[in-house]
C-alpha cells in the first residue's frame, strides 16, 4: 500500500481544516464535521461506499428530551396532601435546578394529583401520584425529567443495529455435521 497523503478536499481552500482528502491510490476518504466518506477509485470513476449516518444525542451536545412538566393537584382532596407539600417545599428547588424544563402548576378540583411530562418528540407521559409523600413525588418528577418520551420496548438482543452482520447468522444446521 502507498502512503496516505492528506490535503484539502477538491474545491476547498486550506482554511477548511475539517474537510480533508486522504488517498492511498485505491481508496479516497473525505472527513467532514461528523462523518468520514470513503470511496473506491477505479481507473475512471469513484464509487461511494454505502454508509448509514445516524444522529446520536449527547455526541456533540446533550439535549434534554423533556421540555415541560405539568403538576396537577386538588386543594380539597386528601390524596393531594403530598402533592401540596411538594409544591410548597420541594418544587422551587427542583425548578431552580432544572432551568431548561418548563414547569406549570394547575389545580384540578376533585381529581387525583398527576404529573405530566411533555417531550420534544411530541409524546406525553403521565404518572398518578395520589397518596405519595413529597420525596416520592420528587423521585417521580426526576423519572419523568430523565425519560426520553419513547414507548417502552422489549429488547430481544443486547445490540440494535441498522446494518446486517458481516459474519452472517450462525446456525447449528450450517457447515459440516459432527458425528456424535
116-173 pLDDT tens trace: 999 999 999 999 999 999 999 999 999 999 999 888 888 777 777 777 777 777 777 7
Q: Report the alpha-carbon distance of residue 172 to residue 161 in Å, rounded.
A: 23
Identify whether 70 is part of a domain.
yes
Across the beta sheet with 20-23, the strand order is: 5-8, 20-23, 27-31, 36-41, 46-48
Identify whether 56 is part of a domain.
no
Question: What is the tally of structural domains in the chain?
Answer: 2
In the chain, where does DSSP find H-type helix?
81-89, 91-97, 134-146
Q: Report the alpha-carbon distance of residue 57 to residue 148 in Å, rounded.
A: 11
Question: Which residue carries 381529581 as its cell?
Answer: 111
Q: Report the alpha-carbon distance of residue 174 to residue 149 in Å, rounded.
A: 42
Q: Could you tell me if 71 and 24 lie in one domain?
A: no
Q: Could you tell me if 21 and 80 lie in one domain?
A: no
Q: Could you tell me if 43 and 90 lie in one domain?
A: no
Identify whether 83 is part of a domain.
yes
Identify whether 98 is part of a domain.
yes
Q: Could you tell me if 80 and 40 lie in one domain?
A: no
pLDDT at 17 over 80: no
pLDDT at 106 over 80: yes
Choose between 76 and 33: higher pLDDT. Answer: 76
Backbone angles phi, psi at 86, to 5 degrees: -65, -45
pLDDT of residue 112: 96
Q: Could you tell me if 73 and 142 lie in one domain?
A: yes
pTM: 0.57
pLDDT of residue 39: 58
Q: Could you tell me if 82 and 129 lie in one domain?
A: yes
Q: Could you tell me if 72 and 127 lie in one domain?
A: yes
92 pLDDT band, cuts 50/70/90, is very high
Give the pLDDT confidence of 78-87 residue by residue, as tens digits. 899 999 999 9
Expressed as residue numbers, the domain containing 98 is 66-146
Identify whether 156 is part of a domain.
no
Identify whether 97 is part of a domain.
yes
CATH of the domain at 95: 3.40.30.10
Question: Which residue carries 443495529 as its cell?
Answer: 161
Q: Could you tell me if 74 and 132 lie in one domain?
A: yes
How many Å is the maximal CA-CA distance in the chain? 82
Q: Report the alpha-carbon distance of residue 80 to residue 85 in Å, rounded.
A: 9
Q: Report the alpha-carbon distance of residue 129 to residue 85 in Å, rounded.
A: 12
Identify whether 42 is part of a domain.
yes
| Chain mean pLDDT for the chain | 78
Identify whether 15 is part of a domain.
yes
Amino acid at each position: 500500500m502507498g502512503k496516505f497523503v492528506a490535503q484539502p478536499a477538491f474545491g476547498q481552500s486550506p482554511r477548511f481544516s475539517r474537510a480533508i482528502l486522504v488517498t492511498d491510490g485505491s481508496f479516497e476518504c473525505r472527513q467532514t464535521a461528523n462523518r468520514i466518506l470513503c470511496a473506491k477509485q477505479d481507473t475512471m470513476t469513484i464509487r461511494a461506499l454505502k454508509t448509514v449516518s445516524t444522529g446520536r444525542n449527547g455526541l456533540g451536545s446533550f439535549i434534554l428530551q423533556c421540555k415541560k412538566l405539568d403538576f396537577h393537584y386538588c386543594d380539597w382532596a386528601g390524596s393531594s396532601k403530598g402533592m401540596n407539600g411538594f409544591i410548597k417545599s420541594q418544587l422551587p428547588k427542583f425548578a431552580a435546578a432544572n432551568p431548561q424544563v418548563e414547569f406549570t402548576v394547575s389545580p384540578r378540583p376533585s381529581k387525583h394529583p398527576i404529573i405530566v411530562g411533555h417531550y420534544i418528540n411530541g409524546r406525553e407521559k403521565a404518572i398518578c401520584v395520589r397518596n405519595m409523600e413529597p420525596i416520592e413525588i420528587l423521585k417521580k418528577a426526576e423519572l419523568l425529567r430523565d425519560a426520553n418520551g419513547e414507548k417502552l420496548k422489549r429488547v430481544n438482543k443486547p445490540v440494535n443495529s441498522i446494518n446486517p452482520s458481516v459474519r452472517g447468522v450462525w446456525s447449528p444446521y450450517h457447515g459440516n455435521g459432527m458425528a456424535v
